[in-house]
Structure 1
Amino acid sequence: MSLTASPDVARNARPYLYGGEGAAIASALSAGQYNHGAVTEEFEQALAGFLGVPDVVAVASGTAALHVGLLAAGVGPGHEVIVPSFTFCATVQAILATGAQPRFIEVNPDIGCVEPAEVLGALTPDTRAVMPVLYGGRAVDLSPARLALDEQGVTVVEDAAQAFGSWQGDRRVGATGAVTCFSFGPIKNLTCGLGGAIVPRTPLEADICRRLRGLGIVESAARRAEATTYTVDGFGMRVQMSPLNAAVGLVQLDHFAEAETRRRALWRSYAAALDGIDGIALVDADVERTLPPLCAVRVLNGLRDRVFRELRQHGVGVGVHYPPNHTQPAFSEWQRPLPVTEHLGREIMTLPFHQHLTPADAEHVTSEVRRALTGADQ
């Protein structure tokens, strides 16, 4: 591991590859099955084994996972889905794709996640699902609200796009009983290049997910190859995960212990370096149980935009994750006052965070943050 800070590496997040991904893709290419095949199913089984669950359904993206997961849970037109405004817009677009409507709620600004009291306060007769977003990979425990949700028939569909590898208690996120949706995009804790997965609750739900991802066709690809017809019994999309992507995921999963070690170490390096700097507050990731995909801070005193511009000008790849969705033009129909989220949206900033970075890079970024804060405060 380099002991010298590398500002160019700190500029932007990049996928982290372990070296075997190219050979795995070449092998999948030579097999000649690019839409859905044995490698995809092998990846599903490996994910299920890692999480300790009976089944996992792989799909083309994290957004597709959210869409399919909501549909499998019975969400559709006339329903509401409780969701934090503080999330990536894909979360909301997946809700709208089902024909349902979002009901935006606040988050705890110290952690970026919803709290049970906010969920309970937002319930209406039309609520069919709650979609907690596991911001920064942190698990969300809605057990205090579970009785009320169960009594109303409300399903928890977790947006765990950032939380693969994290824990809730003694179980991995995905093994806690909710419909859980993961993303395996380019800079996630585990990447397939592009991909996602749903953890269903029952064999029936798994079957529904597989039909939804495969154009509503009942029979498997292997069975269709040996038959003269097939059966379409309902709505479906073409959102299967390609074996090419699954091949990358299998290699990544083999090296996941390294991802856990490096990501937690990098987050702790940032936390130590940021400690004591006035004007900035670290968003708590609960790193003992969370596998962090990012390092988020709040820039206080109205200085975020100036500090952001200053850092970008000096080659530090900071970002904003995320602007509140209830203020977006596309979602204005469902806008409601959310002052906590609006304030958080003006403060939030994410620091460069990927496995190419070293503790020295974290020190370099933090020194640039300190310098930018000093300049912005004058």
Structure 2
Amino acid sequence: MTMTAQAGVGQNARPFIHGPEEAAVLEALRSGQYNHSGITDEFETRIARFLGVADTVAVASGTTALHIALLAAGVGPGHEVIVPSFTFCATVQAVLAVGARPRFIEVNPRTLCVESQEVLDALTSHTRAVLPVLYGGRAVDLTDAQPTLAERCISIVEDAAHAFGSHQGTRRVGATGALTCFSFGPIKNLTCGLGGMLVPRTPQEADICRRLRGLGIVESPARRAKTTTYTVDGFGLRAQMSSLNAAIGIAQLAHFPQAEAKRRALWRAYSAALQDVPGLALIDVDVDRSVPHLCAVRVLHDRDRVFHTLRERGIGVGTHYPPNHLQPAFAQWRRPLPVTEQVGREIMTLPFHQHLTDTDITRVADELRQALTQGTAR
């Protein structure tokens, strides 16, 4: 019998609104400026201050951020981008959008992130960029690969959709020197409703990103308003972040310390509750330095049965993600990736959002343990 989904545990992910967002959106609505506006500029400034970087560029989505970042890094037709197969398909679609080819590589099954040696082993004469995915919020340290990548003029473009607020060493993700892309989608660590952001490496790259997001127009919106013409000097997208989304982001950022603490506490609660559960491996997000975006486990036997059992019992489990090299759209770039394929058969994500309580975590852990035990008893 299918049980009615319980509040909290019935949803795999859910936005968390702190309260001031509603008033912020209303104020933005009343301003009459719904495209990129001074509110968007203010959001960029506040995020840059939070990260400790010189500049940020707000865009319409995390996928758009990746698209623009790859273009800004000079990636195009004939180039290869090294990317894990184990990521959301948006990462790969951004590579195709610039006319490049994905070169899929393995991840560490303990972290589900790429490592330097895998990157170095995958390099070819066509490699123009490496696109590490910061799965679950965990920073990816490619220090050992950086000398070779720099020597060959290969850019690191970080997909940090999961990792806003996380640290690599003493610095926030985004402040480590890579061209970093964040998502501020509905269920991310910080939400704008919908949106994304790039952290450029240089002022020149920031200018390129701003032109790419604004239809190739050289002048800023504020400057255009004071002149009778404008200049288009190249390709561009309509990819600005609306002031309405930026207003939500500003309100969210003011409460980010609470979000950071809550998400770490939830992950630690799961870690404690799932200790010594047989047939289960918790994916390590390096919680002391990360702001976890999700809580993922590998179900070592009979994942599909466990998944459906939990769904029937009102537990909102998910699968993040099916491997991309096995997808029909990316079949021409398929190569053997046995670790990724095994992880794809085992991965399951547990309910993870700021509405959850300790009681909710206990219930999910108990239901998961029971589902695993039922399978063993058969």
Q: TM-score, normalized by length of structure 1?
A: 0.98
Distance 1:101 1:308 in 2: 33
List, as ranges, runs of 4+ consecutive aligned residues in structure 1 with deviation greater than 6 Å: none
Superimposed CA distance per residue, residues 205-238 of structure 1 (whole angstroms, 9 cap, x where no aligned partner): 0000000000000001111112111100000000
Opposite residue 279 of structure 2, the aligned amino acid is G
Distance 1:351 1:33 in 2: 40
Percent identical residues:
69
Counterpart secondary structure, 1:26: helix
Distance 1:11 1:215 in 2: 42
1:279 matched to 2:263: no
Opposite residue 35 of structure 2, the aligned amino acid is N
Q: Structure 1 residue 376: deviation in Å?
A: 2.1
Quick check: 1:72–1:209 contact (8 Å CA) kept in 2? yes
1:23 matched to 2:23: yes
Distance 1:33 1:76 in 2: 34
Opposite residue 365 of structure 1, the aligned amino acid is V
Superimposed CA distance per residue, residues 101-132 of structure 1 (whole angstroms, 9 cap, x where no aligned partner): 10000000000000100000000000000000
Match of 1:296 in 2: 296
Match of 1:156 in 2: 156
Distance 2:359 2:68 in 1: 42
Distance 1:352 1:223 in 2: 46
Match of 1:209 in 2: 209
Q: Structure 1 residue 7: deviation in Å?
A: 3.3
Match of 2:347 in 1: 348
Quick check: 1:7–1:364 contact (8 Å CA) kept in 2? no
Alignment of 1:1-378 (within 5 A): 7-12=6-11, 13-301=13-301, 303-377=302-376, 378=378
Q: Structure 1 residue 54: deviation in Å?
A: 0.1
Opposite residue 144 of structure 2, the aligned amino acid is P
Opposite residue 33 of structure 2, the aligned amino acid is Q
Superimposed CA distance per residue, residues 227-271 of structure 1 (whole angstroms, 9 cap, x where no aligned partner): 111100000000100000000000100000000110000000000
Match of 1:3 in 2: none
Superimposed CA distance per residue, residues 165-216 of structure 1 (whole angstroms, 9 cap, x where no aligned partner): 0000010000000000000011110000000000000000000000000000
Superimposed CA distance per residue, residues 1-20 of structure 1 (whole angstroms, 9 cap, x where no aligned partner): xxxxx932111121000001
Opposite residue 97 of structure 1, the aligned amino acid is A
What is the Cα-based RMSD across aligned positions, in Å?
0.7
Counterpart secondary structure, 2:372: helix
Distance 2:289 2:200 in 1: 23
Counterpart secondary structure, 2:145: helix
Distance 1:41 1:9 in 2: 35
Distance 1:8 1:152 in 2: 52
Distance 1:222 1:152 in 2: 39
Distance 2:342 2:14 in 1: 29
Superimposed CA distance per residue, residues 330-366 of structure 1 (whole angstroms, 9 cap, x where no aligned partner): 0001000000000000001000000000111110000
Segments of 5+ residues of structure 1 without an aligned counterpart are 1-5
Counterpart secondary structure, 2:180: strand
Counterpart secondary structure, 1:369: helix
Quick check: 1:8–1:315 contact (8 Å CA) kept in 2? no
Opposite residue 287 of structure 2, the aligned amino acid is V
Counterpart secondary structure, 1:63: helix
Opposite residue 308 of structure 2, the aligned amino acid is R
Distance 1:272 1:360 in 2: 13
**How many residues are treated as equivalent by the alignment?**
372
Counterpart secondary structure, 1:143: coil
Opposite residue 222 of structure 1, the aligned amino acid is A
Distance 2:357 2:242 in 1: 33
Distance 2:98 2:157 in 1: 13
Distance 1:7 1:167 in 2: 34
Distance 1:174 1:369 in 2: 35
Opposite residue 152 of structure 2, the aligned amino acid is Q
Opposite residue 344 of structure 2, the aligned amino acid is G
Counterpart secondary structure, 1:180: strand
Moved more, 367-376 or 96-105: 367-376
Quick check: 1:7–1:361 contact (8 Å CA) kept in 2? no
Quick check: 1:184–1:194 contact (8 Å CA) kept in 2? yes
